[in-house]
Structure 1
Amino acid sequence: MVLSLVSLCAKEVVCDHSSSPSWLRWVPRELYGPLLQAAFASSRPLAVGELVQRWPERTLRVGGRRKQGQAAPSRLCIQALLLAVVRGLSDNRYGLQVLDLSGLQGDEGGVGEPMGGWSLTVALCTMVVQARAGWQRAQRRDVERKRFSDLEREKDVKRERGQSKRGKPLTGEEASRALRASSGSCSRLSDEQLLKGIRRRMEMERKQEVSVTGAGEGRKETERVKVNSEVLVHVRADLFVNARSWERVHVALSTPGPLKLQCRYLRVEEISVSSIRTLLDLLPQQGLLGVDVRYSNLGVAGLAELLPLLSNFPALKSLRLHYCNLDFRRDHPGQEEALRALSQGLAKLQGLRRLSLTALRLPGQLRVLLSSLPQPLEILELPYLSLSPADLAYLSCSHHASSLKQLDLSENTLDGNTLPSIRRLFSQASSSLEHLSLSGCGLTDSLLGLLLPSLGGCWALKSLALALNPLSTAGLVDLMRTAARMPALRHVLYPNPLEDYQPGLPDLPSSAQLLDWPLDEATDINVTSGRLRKVLADSGRSDIFLTCDLLNYDKDLMD
């Protein structure tokens, strides 16, 4: 990446923090952005704090999608940013109104000590609560200052009335003496009097809260408008909530103050249905784009309870459910009624474009769920769902097939019975499908050979994942020859060929066996990789990235 002259100069400027008082006051507002970027890139938290505390624009966006190889901001820089936002609230010249931290979080424990999603959520909630406490202290000081001022003014008025009643006007010396006495009495107010004033103020606020609780809807609406008028900065972010952080997030979302926390993507793990429902009730209805629920014991009834709540968010585009204990294989009474409730709930999600269902075990029920969606999906992820031939047959003929951009059928067994449906699905999605994952589907050389003609017709495909399939080197060579004829293809995740494993592997190993079985120490994986690259090079394709590293393969960083 070639840096511009402005970026290079900004990097040099922020590196010398001792000189910041001399130049910061003269910086034009259009240079704040490059300086802040340089401060993040160079891990200069002091420079980050000073720039953010004096931020001249109404909006500050930090984060977003990073380029490949670009590291996330360090933990110290993020903490300095949050502290600077709280300090800036006390400055009337502070111009910030919207702080957008969406997509900022990195991987916990990554290179450069980035701040992960959970840590960032906790830090944001702490910032909101601290800002509220500082705002309350400032309000109390203003109230006490005004009360004492009114009290002294009232004393002066009474003193003047008393003098006028006695008919003795004050001389100039007497008036100055009275004025000095009144000002001295104000300065000599004891700490006990100040404490009494604060206690009296707290008692009045407590009485107001009780009266508001018992008031009608009109009074509640008035209080809501008052709370909203107190907001100085709206903070947009992605929230990661689990059992350890739920209470803090709940307090931050339910506490009015100068900072208003808004959520773009909500990810929850291992919390109950009632806690998820409480969070959804506290979130602003505008702006929530996605909900990701993981490792939570929802059950069918819990999911049916949550879906109507999700329909209150008109911008919701993504719903992801991973390991949420939904199992329709067992014979439970009321199963049809539960499926009907789920179908009705999904039908209300008008803007849904992404649906991810992982390990929910829904064999034979895909039609019931997907047919109720009003709009076609663009991203459909169905790994570990035990899909049946009937499910794949429906999917190939559904209104979603021709709109899919990303499809994940990993760990669903594909065989001769499902082959016609898969071919039809590839034909329907040939002009739209960009990312395809068939890892762990039991594809053999013969089965893959029958699929390659249909797969080669997906001319928009950019990435293809086929890890943990029992393929030989000859099958991989055929795959590369087809890949060379796909113009948009740029990334291929291929499995280690069967010849690279130690002896004793079954003839048709499962994906779990391929994952656990050791590779032959005498085999060099670079030999297989070099042979496959040569096949591509002979076909005039050197722009396709090949890898067999399943753990470090990330399709979301390919564009």
Structure 2
Amino acid sequence: MMVQSLVKLCAREVVSDHSSSPRWLSCVPRELFPELLDAAFTHCRTLAVGELVKRWPERSLNIGARKKRGHCPPNRLCIQALLLAVGRGLTDKRCCLEVLDLRGLQCENVKAEDSIIDGWSLTVSLSNVVQAGSAASRRNGEQDRKSGLDSICGRGAIIRPRDIAGCGNIYKVGLGVEEAGKREARTNHQASAEDESVNGVRRGRIEIHKSNTTVSISDQGWDEVVVHIWTDLFVNFQSWERVLDALSQPGPVRLNCRYLRVEELSASSIASLLGLLPQEDLLEIDIRYCSLGVSGLIMLLPLLAAFPQLRSLKLLYCHLDLQYNLPNQQEALQDMCNGMRSIKGLKKLFLTALRLPDHLHMLLSQHASFLRVLDLSENWLNEWFLPSLCQLFSQAKQSLCQLSLCGCNVSDDLLEVLLPSLSSFQALRGLRLALNPLSRMGVLSLARAAAGIPSLHLLLYPNPMEEYEPGLPPMPSSGQLLNWPLVKEPEERAITKILLEELLNQRGRSHDLVVTSDLLNYSPDLCEED
């Protein structure tokens, strides 16, 4: 059991009693704020979280790093308190926060009863914070603009009503040069005093510049960014409009996205979203369950090329399904190839259920020699598609670290054709072929080839057909294999494990190569690069 430090124990006691916060908040040194905030997150002291963040003394605050340090993810209520405090800190001169890092904070597969926040809820909450800050800035800017106009009118300015709506308009002032200079000095002195006493957002102020007999007014400074929030966004059809508004509105809070995940959106909606994201920040785009079609993908690929740091592209269940009997399909295929070539620097590519296995080499030839991760799961393979796939593997054999062919209809005959290409990989660490209709002999052939890859650490093999209850069709789909019951006799299922253990012992790979058929509980960390 780890012994807590005295600082952590004291921090826990301090944040436990909110009634005492007015006393210690006024005198606690800035060096203790991180420990106090950590204690507030750990023990779910939402009021303490809000008070600390509202007065945060540093320029940056990294909440997403808590997961990397082994902490439990912050409670949902604590995150909501944090975001509310960010908005309140905009009007608190004690708050120095400029960068809030929430990257990696949200968790996937969160259940309704869980206390941690999921990606969709975090995205919606962040959008609300941005919109609230933008609305407050507009109100403050309008108040400043009106007060500036009133002060000009009080000095005898002649204002043309039709010009008031513009920015930076020139207004004639009926004052002599000497008197104007005196009033300018007094005005500047008053403005500087007001600036020092303002407790709020760096919003636009009405600046009065007199040159001889003219005054210039500009009210465009109120949308200056005060806090940058780095985060991962999860957008679907329910939250798309809200996120779009948050990204398009100027204001004191700006969202910077590292990973973008979208679900159930049309190609045009995704295009609108991509057009508002800062181009220099995005590392990964994850598009799922979107019926893009060929035309939709052709629309999006040139937009993706505008993100220079993009390293990972996921297209999951987007169902392109190119039909060769339709007119202009060859032209569409060429457009897709050109779009893929326009994207530079891809390292990870996930093309699940795109139904384009016979054109993979044509689509990915430019990226093949640089790819580290390639997922082609749920793309139905047959003997006509294998030459294109083997050609792709020959280009990627020196760089590819993870390969997934789950649910690709790989039978014993197809595996025999694939094995030479699979055996040629030089950097492969993880190989997944779950949910394929292989016999026990096919699984052993796969394991024998895997044992011959020195860099391989994980092999996820399919349950052999002999381990399923009778009744499966000769070539079952991945869905049928996933849902069909396995035989109840443990002896039948133990045969495969015994044979695999003997094979690994003979090859000297029993300690450094994990071979499993457990699709749900295997450790993907075994595939990570050192």
Question: 2:231, 2:258 within 8 Å by CA — same for their partners in 1?
Answer: yes
What pairs with 1:149-164 in structure 2 (closer than 5 Å)?
none
- Secondary structure of 1:103's counterpart equals coil
Specify the code of the residue in structure 2 equivalent to 1:396.
F
Counterpart in the other structure of 1:493? none
Task: Give the residue type in structure 1 aligned to 2:54.
Answer: Q
| Offset of residue 297 of structure 1 | 1.6
Distance 1:537 1:4 in 2: 45
2:184 is aligned to: none
For 1:252-292, what per-residue CA distance to the aligned partner results, in whole angstroms no more than 9, with x for missing partners? 11100001112111111111111111111111111011111
- 1:555 equivalent to 2:524? Answer yes
CA RMSD of aligned residues (A): 3.7
Aligned 1:12-27 pairs, distance under 5 A: 12-27=13-28
Does the 8 Å CA contact 1:350/1:375 hold for their aligned counterparts? no
State how 1:314-463 maps to structure 2 within 5 Å. Answer: 314-328=308-322, 330-373=324-367, 376-387=370-381, 388-398=385-395, 400-415=396-411, 417-419=413-415, 422-430=418-426, 432-463=427-458
- 8 Å contact from structure 2 (residues 141, 222) kept in 1: no
Please tell me whether the aligned partners of residues 460 and 518 of structure 2 are also in contact (alpha carbons under 8 angstroms).
no
* Structure with greater proportional helix content: 1
Corresponding residue number in structure 2 for 1:179: none
Instruction: Select the residue among 133, 136, 140 that pairs with 1:134.
Output: 136
- For residue 26 of structure 1, give the secondary structure of its aligned residue in structure 2: coil
What amino acid is the match of 1:118? W
Report the CA distance shift for 1:68/1:516 in structure 2 as closer, same or farther (over 3 A): farther
Partner of 2:482: 515
Are the equivalent residues in 2 in contact too, given 1:351–1:375 (CA < 8 A)?
no
Return the offset for 1:417.
4.8
TM value normalised by structure 2: 0.77
1:199-238 equivalences under 5 Å are 230-238=224-232
CA offsets 1:430-458 (integer angstroms, 9 cap, x no match): 3x222221111223222233233331133
Does residue 28 (structure 1) correspond to residue 29 (structure 2)? The answer is yes
Secondary structure of 1:139's match? helix
* TM-score, normalised with respect to structure 1: 0.73
Q: C-alpha separation between the residues in 2 aligned to 1:17 and 1:543?
A: 52
Secondary structure class of the residue paired with 2:374? strand
Q: Distance in 2 between matches of 1:257 and 1:365?
A: 46
Query: Could you say if the C-alpha distance between residues 67 and 100 of structure 1 is closer, same or farther in structure 2, counting changes exceeding 3 Å?
Result: closer
Following superposition, the deviation at residue 546 of structure 1 comes to 7.8
1:79 maps to 80
- For 2:72 and 2:154, locate their aligned partners in 1 and report how far apart those are by CA, in whole Å: 59
Q: 1:275 aligns with which of 269, 274, 292?
A: 269
Give me the identity figure in percent. Answer: 46
Matches within 5 A, 1:237-248: 237-248=231-242
SS in 2 for 1:243: coil
1:416/1:520 Cα in 2 relative to 1: closer, same or farther (>3 Å)?
A: closer
Q: Deviations over 1:188-241 (max 9, x none)?
A: xxxxxxxxxxxxxxxx9xxxxxxxxxxxxxxxxx99x9576x111111111111
Tell me if structure 1 keeps the 8 A contact 2:313–2:349.
yes
Local SS of the residue matching 2:64: coil
CA deviation digits over 1:284-333, x for unaligned, max 9? 11101111111112111111111111111101111111111211355222
SS, match of residue 414 in structure 1: coil
Match of 1:312 in 2: 306
Q: Deviations over 1:469-494 (max 9, x none)?
A: 3166xxxxxxxxxxxxxxxxxxxxxx
Bigger mean CA deviation after superposition, 51-60 or 440-449: 440-449
The CA deviation at 1:115 is: 1.5
User: Which runs of 5 or more residues in structure 2 are unaligned?
Assistant: 158-174, 176-205, 207-217
Instruction: Give the 3 Å change call, closer, same or farther, for CA 254–50 of structure 1 in structure 2.
Output: same
Partner of 1:100: 101
Whether contact under 8 Å (1:329, 1:363) holds in the other structure is no
Quote the Cα distance in structure 1 between the aligned partners of 2:526 and 2:28: 36
Give the 3 Å change call, closer, same or farther, for CA 520–411 of structure 1 in structure 2.
closer
Following the alignment from structure 2 to structure 1, what is the Cα–Cα distance between the partners of residues 241 and 41?
A: 31
Q: Secondary structure at the match of 1:380?
A: strand
CA contact 2:430–2:527 (8 Å) conserved in 1: no
- The answer to whether the Cα contact below 8 Å between 2:258 and 2:282 also exists between their aligned partners in 1 is yes
Distance 1:374 1:504 in 2: 40
**Number of residues of Structure 1 aligned to a counterpart in Structure 2:** 464
What displacement does 1:534 show?
9.1
CA contact 1:470–1:508 (8 Å) conserved in 2: no
For the 8 Å contact 2:347–2:371, the answer to whether it is kept is yes
SS in structure 2 opposite 1:86? helix
Give the drift of 1:24: 2.5
Whether the 8 Å CA contact 2:447–2:500 is kept in 1: the answer is no
Q: 1:407 to 1:86 in 2, by over 3 A?
A: same
Q: Aligned partners of 1:18 and 1:389: how far apart in 2?
A: 70
1:395–1:425: 8 Å Cα contact kept in structure 2?
Answer: no
In structure 2, do the counterparts of structure 1 residues 519 and 127 end up closer, same or farther at CA, with 3 Å as the change threshold? same
Q: Which amino acid aligns with 1:87?
A: R
Query: Secondary structure at the residue paired with 1:297?
Result: coil
- Give ranges in structure 1 of 5+ residues lacking alignment: 156-160, 162-203, 205-221, 473-497
The amino acid that maps onto 1:133 is: A
Quote the offset at 1:424 in angstroms.
3.4
Taking the aligned partners of 2:378 and 2:289, their CA distance within structure 1 comes to 15
- Bigger Cα displacement from structure 2, 534-543 vs 306-315: 534-543
* CA pair 447-544 structure 1, distance change in 2 beyond 3 A: closer
Distance in 2 of aligned mates of 1:453 and 1:35: 55
Cα distance, 1:7 vs structure 2: 3.8
Contact in 2 for aligned 1:74/1:112 (Cα 8 Å): no
SS of aligned partner of 1:436 = strand
Change (3 A) 1:49 1:282: same
Larger radius of gyration: 1
- Residue by residue over 1:456-514, the C-alpha shift from the partner in whole angstroms, topping out at 9 and shown as x without a partner, is 133333333224x3166xxxxxxxxxxxxxxxxxxxxxxxxx1xx55656788664444
Q: Alpha carbons of 1:503 and 1:307: their partners in 2 closer, same or farther (altered >3 Å)? A: closer
Of 307-316 and 373-382, deviating more is 373-382
